[in-house]
Amino acid sequence: MQDNKEKEQEIFMVRTDLAVEAKESFEEDNVEIKGVIIDESYKEEQDIKITRVVIENENGAKAMGKPMGNYVTLEAPNMVVPDQDYHREISKELAEQIKKLIPLEKEVSVLIVGLGNREVTPDSLGPNVVENLLITRHVVREYGKEALGKNKVNIISGIVPGVMAQTGMETLEIVKGVVDETKPDYVIAIDALAARSTKRLNRTIQITDTGINPGSGVGNHRNGLNLESLNVPVIAIGIPTVVDAATIVNDTMENLIDAMEQTKELKTIGGTLKTFDANEKYQLIREIISPHLNGMFVTPKDIDETVKMLGFTISEGLNMAFS
């Protein structure tokens, strides 16, 4: 979870780390965006919905509030169920998607970065993933590939940089230092994301070749982990485990308007609210949101078991892709 100042500023906008949700907000308005290509498929046997969003140009990037690149989403409603066989299927699908982004004919070296705070349960996804990885770099360097009994061995290293309150450093500073020193071919960053809707929590994996881009992601790559800042391609894998508390209130507002529309006595009121433009809505919500909600998040009570399980599913996917 990113905790930079920008986030607070856009708290009343369509705030989501998921391209698939950014896309939906346009679909609601029946708007088609130039420069954004969407492709959906469904694997019935595994009950996994795969959505590929390609942001082709700056116009699309501006509209979506996300940098140009590929965003693949795996949606699996049963991902919260602790069924080992089912999670193996998800890991396999994740491995397939990773292989589409990283050509593995030749050996590659990959640094896997577990973002987030291991002491805050819903934010511990990244650290959890790195704990379960098959790390090979030190073995190959010390004993050669033969030690692992294979002809082709990908060089996997991992790091859990911690969060700024614990280190005093930005994640980028730590990761850039390590990348400059160890020169991996690729960085894969794992992070817990913020979703817009509670119904997507812990049920969606997003894989993107644009890296991690806090804030709107457009025009501000300063603190992100991406090709521009690290000089190697960065793939980001994330699962939404929290919703910003302010988003919940925003949703309520929307629901209220809809509810009013449909309630006889309230139709006039709902209608009135509906005529508000974005700015007026913003002003109204600003007034009714408690200032204490900034920096708060919403998460399920059983998040401990869910994060542990999802962390394992992602690490297995990575282990499958690279072994």
CB 158 within 8 A of CB 112: yes
Residues whose CB falls within 8 Å of the CB of residue 196, separated by 6 or more in sequence, listed in order: 14, 15, 16, 18, 21, 25, 243, 247, 251
70 vs 121, beta carbon nearer a second copy: 121
CB 238 within 8 A of CB 9: no
Name the minimum Å distance from CB 221 to a second copy: 17
Name the minimum Å distance from CB 1 to a second copy: 7
95 vs 164, beta carbon nearer a second copy: 164
52 vs 203, beta carbon nearer a second copy: 203
CB 50 within 8 A of CB 44: no
14 vs 120, beta carbon nearer a second copy: 120
Question: What element of type H or E holds 41?
Answer: strand 36-43
Structure tokens at 290: 């408690």
Name the minimum Å distance from CB 36 to a second copy: 27
Name the minimum Å distance from CB 193 to a second copy: 14
CB 239 within 8 A of CB 91: no
Residues whose CB falls within 8 Å of the CB of residue 194, separated by 6 or more in sequence, listed in order: 1, 15, 16, 17, 240, 242, 243, 244, 247, 297
Q: How far apart are CA 14 and CA 29, in angstroms?
A: 13
58 vs 305, beta carbon nearer a second copy: 305
Name the minimum Å distance from CB 60 to a second copy: 29
Strands 204-208 and 186-195: unpaired
28 vs 32, beta carbon nearer a second copy: 28
Name the minimum Å distance from CB 104 to a second copy: 18
